[in-house]
């Protein structure tokens, strides 16, 4: 296999090698190791890693696929490495951002000061499909709304990290972070140890600590459940994995019932009270008596028990308004409003199609911009202008004009790349990064997160549902460089 001796960054910002093809600080040991491998050995290790992931059952479900529901999540052996100097502002910026978004959620469902002060347009919030009127006047346990967040970051051609979007509802992918790490530790044990990579495996313990912290008053040993839609959900592997790692129950809506003002789990020994739910079901489906009446996934009466403080939920219902892509454009102002600080992590410049001047610009520059539907995810509802046809641009122009509130646009960012095994050679592929943040008694940021990689040459879409894969993400410990 051809390795770094022939690797070409092709003018993009590459995470492992600089513009001269030299290894960046902290990655020399990995590059040297790969270069020293006998011919065919890297390919063998890649196949062994894939076999191990298959054995582990690291899968996700793809909706609408005729060939079956489950797929092995594609994985690339070459890790992405982030220096401590790069990681420190990421960690600080994420803590700042999540704190401010939590304050924002508490405010807009209660006093609405930020709307009265016209920092964020009132109609933008109240017209959002994810603003839940059912949550108005409510304060969740410990005043925490966004307990688990997955914030998507990208690195631009300037080498700086930017926030691409926030995910505060049911962010998925952390199980792949944990399993990818196990594979890499077996594949490059010497390099891993000598590189002093920060651990990611404390995440389940941190998640459990947060869920226990939410328990209703007077409950010392809470019963906790992970509420899943079931085996056909795309992230079911993760739901079962996390429940197993935490040693808590994995439950579906049909396993739960409201009785005597509490939520109970059906067991072979009768009803057992449940105190905390880590719910992995969207708001629409969690309680058919409050949200969608046709839902078969939720628990009738759950919201009333929640309002009465007799059960806690993570994440709180109503958090989706904070990851609405139109609201995203105002997050720098939201951070300034609630913290008095400038954002540590910048947003990508964003055009809001509800604003006439922005809309006119977007319609005139569709071939240059990335257009996104405000409440879609997984790479759906998106136009990537430079890769689109005239017909696709015309279709999106009609969509924008019909429902301008539902669309934003951003310049096409030249995403950073990481060397990736493609056939018998290494080629650069674009990546993003989703760190996971837990908000409990304090705010914890998992060192690294999920690096998603666009496996199709030239593609900027990294989502697994769109053919993307993943890499292990190594955050180097403070003051550590490679050791020879």
Q: How confident is the model at residue 50 (pLDDT cuts 50, 70, 90)?
A: confident
- Contact predicate 336/329, CB 8 Å: no
Domain holding 386: CATH number?
Answer: 3.30.1490.270
What are the residues facing 251 on neighbouring strands? 227
Residues 296, 231 share a domain:
yes
Residues 300, 272 share a domain:
yes
Name the average pLDDT for the chain.
92
Most confident of 148-162, 182-196, 461-475: 148-162
Residues 185, 51 share a domain:
yes
pTM confidence score: 0.93
Over residues 320-348, the pLDDT tens digits come to: 999 999 999 999 999 999 999 999 999 99
Which candidate, 375, 395, 384, 352, places its Cα nearest to that of 466? 384
Residues 186, 61 share a domain:
yes
pLDDT at 461: 79
Over residues 222-270, the pLDDT tens digits come to: 999 999 999 988 889 999 999 999 999 999 999 999 999 999 999 999 9
Q: Of all residues in the chain, what percent carry a pLDDT higher than 70? A: 94
Which of these three, 291, 310, 329, is where a domain ends?
A: 310
Task: Tell whether 184 is covered by a domain.
Answer: yes
Domain residues for 363?
351-411
pLDDT at 463: 75
Give the rounded distance of the alpha carbon of 401 from its chain centre: 30
Residues 183, 66 share a domain:
yes
371: CB partners within 8 A, 6+ apart: 362, 382, 383, 385, 396, 400, 407, 408, 409
Task: Tell whether 168 is covered by a domain.
Answer: no
Task: Tell whether 203 is covered by a domain.
Answer: no
Residues 226, 191 share a domain:
no
Residues 304, 223 share a domain:
yes
Structurally, the chain folds into a number of domains equal to 3
Domain holding 295: CATH number?
Answer: 3.40.50.11290
Task: Tell whether 225 is covered by a domain.
Answer: yes
pLDDT at 182: 92
Q: Is the pLDDT of residue 173 over 60?
A: yes
Residues 61, 42 share a domain:
yes
Region 66-84 average pLDDT: 79
Which of these three, 361, 388, 411, is where a domain ends?
A: 411
Region 195-216 average pLDDT: 97
Q: For residue 72, which phi and psi values (nearest 5 degrees)?
A: -75, 130
Residues 187, 60 share a domain:
yes
Residues 270, 228 share a domain:
yes
What are the residues facing 153 on neighbouring strands? 163, 433
pLDDT at 378: 58
Q: For residue 338, which phi and psi values (nearest 5 degrees)?
A: -95, -20
Gap between the Cα atoms of 50 and 132, Å rounded? 42
pLDDT at 482: 41
Task: Tell whether 24 is covered by a domain.
Answer: yes
- Contact predicate 16/24, CB 8 Å: yes
291: CB partners within 8 A, 6+ apart: 134, 283, 284, 285, 298
Q: Tell me how far CA of residue 241 lies from CA of 33, 51, 143, 447, in angstroms.
A: 32, 19, 28, 20
Residues 81, 192 share a domain:
yes
pLDDT at 484: 37
Region 206-227 average pLDDT: 97
Region 383-401 average pLDDT: 94
Q: Is the pLDDT of residue 63 over 60?
A: no
Which of these three, 258, 285, 310, is where a domain ends?
A: 310
Task: Tell whether 143 is covered by a domain.
Answer: no
Residues 61, 19 share a domain:
yes
pLDDT at 466: 66
Helix axes of 174-187 and 41-56: crossing angle, nearest 10 degrees: 140
Handedness of CA 328, 329, 333, 339 (dihedral sign): positive
Task: Tell whether 337 is covered by a domain.
Answer: no
Which candidate, 346, 330, 327, 278, places its Cα nearest to that of 96? 346
Lowest mean pLDDT among 14-18, 131-135, 286-290, 421-425: 421-425
Which candidate, 10, 26, 9, places its Cα nearest to that of 419? 9
Task: Tell whether 224 is covered by a domain.
Answer: yes
Q: How confident is the model at residue 381 (pLDDT cuts 50, 70, 90)?
A: confident
């Amino acid at each position: 296999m051809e390795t770094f001796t022939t690797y070409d960054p092709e003018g993009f910002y590459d995470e492992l090698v600089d513009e001269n093809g030299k290894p960046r600080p902290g990655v020399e040991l990995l590059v040297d190791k790969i270069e020293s491998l006998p011919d065919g050995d890297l390919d063998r290790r890649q196949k062994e890693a894939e076999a191990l992931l298959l054995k582990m059952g690291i899968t996700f479900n793809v909706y609408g696929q005729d060939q079956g529901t489950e797929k092995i999540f594609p994985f690339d052996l070459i890790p992405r490495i982030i220096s401590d100097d790069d990681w420190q502002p990421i960690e600080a910026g994420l803590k700042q951002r999540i704190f401010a978004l939590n304050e924002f959620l508490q405010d807009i469902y209660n006093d609405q000061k930020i709307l009265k002060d016209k920092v964020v347009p009132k109609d933008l919030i109240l017209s959002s499909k994810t603003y839940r009127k059912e949550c108005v006047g409510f304060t969740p346990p410990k005043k925490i709304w966004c307990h688990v967040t997955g914030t998507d970051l990208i690195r631009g051609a300037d080498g700086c990290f930017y926030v691409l979007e926030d995910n505060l509802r049911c962010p998925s992918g952390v199980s792949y972070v944990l399993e990818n790490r196990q594979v890499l530790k077996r594949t490059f044990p010497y390099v891993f140890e000598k590189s002093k990579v920060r651990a990611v495996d404390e995440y389940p313990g941190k998640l459990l600590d947060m869920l226990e912290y939410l328990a209703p008053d007077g409950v010392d040993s809470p019963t906790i459940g992970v509420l899943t839609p079931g085996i056909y959900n795309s992230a079911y592997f993760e739901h079962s994995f996390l429940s197993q790692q935490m040693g808590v129950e994995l439950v579906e809506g049909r396993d739960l019932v409201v009785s005597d003002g509490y939520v109970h789990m059906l067991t072979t020994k009768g009803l057992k009270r449940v105190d905390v739910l880590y719910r992995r079901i969207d708001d629409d489906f969690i309680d058919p008596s409050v949200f969608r009446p046709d839902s078969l996934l939720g628990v009738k009466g759950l919201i009333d028990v929640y309002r009465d403080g007799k059960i806690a939920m993570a994440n709180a219902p109503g958090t989706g308004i904070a990851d609405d892509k139109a609201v995203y454009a105002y997050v720098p102002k939201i951070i300034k409003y609630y913290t008095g600080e400038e954002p540590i992590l910048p947003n990508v410049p964003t055009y809001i199609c509800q604003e006439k001047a922005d809309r006119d610009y977007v319609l005139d520059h569709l071939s240059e911009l990335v257009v996104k539907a405000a409440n879609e995810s997984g790479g759906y509802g998106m136009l990537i202008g430079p890769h689109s046809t005239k017909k696709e641009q015309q279709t999106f122009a009609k969509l924008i004009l019909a429902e301008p509130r539902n669309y934003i646009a951003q310049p096409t960012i030249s995403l950073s790349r990481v060397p990736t095994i493609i056939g018998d050679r290494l080629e650069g592929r674009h990546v993003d990064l989703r760190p996971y943040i837990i908000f409990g008694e304090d705010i914890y940021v998992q060192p690294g997160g999920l690096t998603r990689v666009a496996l199709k040459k030239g593609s900027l879409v990294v989502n697994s549902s769109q053919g993307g894969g993943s890499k292990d993400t190594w955050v180097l410990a403070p003051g550590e460089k490679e050791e020879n």
